[in-house]
Amino acid sequence: MLVLALESSCDDTSVAILKDGSSVLSNIVASQDDIHSLYGGIVPELASRKHIENVIPVMETALKKANTTIEEIDAFAVTMRPGLVGSILIGLNFIKSVAYATGKPYVGVNHIEAHALSAFLSNEREAEVTPQKNFVESKELKFPFVSLVVSGGHTTLFFVKDFDDLSVLGQTRDDAAGEAFDKVAKLLGLGYPGGPIIDKLAKEGDPKAYEFKRSYIKKGNLEFSFSGLKTGVLNVVKGIEAAGRVLTDLDKKNIAASFQESAVDVLVKKALWAAEEVGVTSIVCAGGVACNSRLREKLRVATKEIGLSLFIPKPKYCSDNGAMIGLLGFELLKRGKRAGLDLNAEPS
- Residue 222: half-sphere exposure toward Cβ, Cα within 13 Å: 21
Percentage of residues of the chain with pLDDT beyond 70: 95
Sequence ranges of the domains in the chain: 2-117+318-334, 123-312
Question: Model-level pTM greater than 0.75?
Answer: yes
Q: What are 146-189's pLDDT values in tens digits?
A: 999 998 889 999 999 999 999 999 999 998 999 999 999 999 99
What is the pLDDT at residue 348? 87
Q: What are 288-335's pLDDT values in tens digits?
A: 999 999 999 999 999 999 999 999 999 999 999 999 999 999 999 999
CATH of 2-117+318-334, one of 3.30.420.40, 3.30.70.80, 3.40.50.720, 1.10.3720.10: 3.30.420.40
What is the pLDDT at residue 183? 95
Provide the 3-class DSSP secondary structure of residue 229.
helix
Of 70-74, 120-124, 184-188, 292-296, which range is least confident?
120-124
Of 126-135, 233-242, 312-321, which range is least confident?
126-135
Percentage of residues of the chain with pLDDT beyond 90: 89
Are 2-117+318-334 and 123-312 in the same CATH fold? yes
- 83 burial level (CB within 10 Å; 0-12, 13-18, 19+): buried
What is the pLDDT at residue 125? 40
| pLDDT > 60? residue 137 | no
What is the pLDDT at residue 135? 43
Distances (CA, A) of 57 to 52, 161, 188, 347: 10, 37, 37, 25
Q: What are 106-115's pLDDT values in tens digits?
A: 999 999 999 9
Structure confidence at residue 126 as a pLDDT band (50, 70, 90): very low
Beta bridge partners of 287: none
Provide the 3-class DSSP secondary structure of residue 204.
coil
* Residue 224: how many other CB atoms lie within 10 Å: 27
* Residue 348: how many other CB atoms lie within 10 Å: 6
| pLDDT > 70? residue 133 | no
**Do residues 143 and 159 lie in contact, with contact meaning Cβ atoms separated by under 8 Å?**
no
Q: What are 50-60's pLDDT values in tens digits?
A: 999 999 999 99
**Do residues 12 and 83 lie in contact, with contact meaning Cβ atoms separated by under 8 Å?**
no
**Which pairing describes strands 309-311 and 23-30: parallel, antiparallel, or unpaired?**
unpaired
| pLDDT > 50? residue 191 | yes
Cα angle 115-24-146, degrees, rounded to a multiple of 5: 25
Domain 123-312 fold: Nucleotidyltransferase; domain 5 (3.30.420)
